[in-house]
Amino acid sequence: MSLVLLAGYMNTYTSNPAPIDPTGGFAGNTVTPFDYGTCPCHAAVQRSRDLVSVQRAATLAQSDQTAVAVNRSSNIVWTGKAADLFRSRLSRTAQYSASLAQDMETTHRLAWGSS
């Protein structure tokens, strides 16, 4: 090993690394990455996909209910400033709901690996 002198100090590698345990797994996993058995990552990914699917279904159901409420409210005979405010806020809420539904579809595609 050759020593290099930088700025008046001798640089050497003096630390003693911990021994490698080939059966200890990678990054704390109890299964080694090349075991080809059951990888805990696959189960974690599936749980995440399942959660996204459940939340997607609930969000889309609420979005549909919001669209129905907006349609029904358009038939209400009501005039004045309060009616205008109500309709503008309801319209904004419908836009937010539609945007959320699109975001849920995007999240679902990303979770399932399709574009």
**pTM for the whole structure:** 0.59
**Predicted pLDDT at 4:** 47
Range of the domain at 79: 4-111
Report pLDDT for 38: 72
Q: What is the pLDDT of residue 49?
A: 92
Residue 41's pLDDT is what?
83
The one-digit pLDDT tens for each residue of the chain (115 residues) are: 444 444 554 545 455 656 655 555 555 555 555 556 677 788 888 899 999 999 999 999 999 999 999 999 888 999 999 999 999 999 999 999 999 999 999 999 998 887 5
For residue 1, the model assigns a pLDDT of 47
The radius of gyration of the chain's CA atoms, rounded to the nearest angstrom, is 29
Q: Domain count for the chain, please give it.
A: 1
The DSSP-derived string for 5-60 is EETTEEE-----PPPP-TTS-STT-SS-TT--S--HHHHHHHHHHHHHHHHHHHHH
Which pLDDT does position 74 carry in this prediction?
A: 84
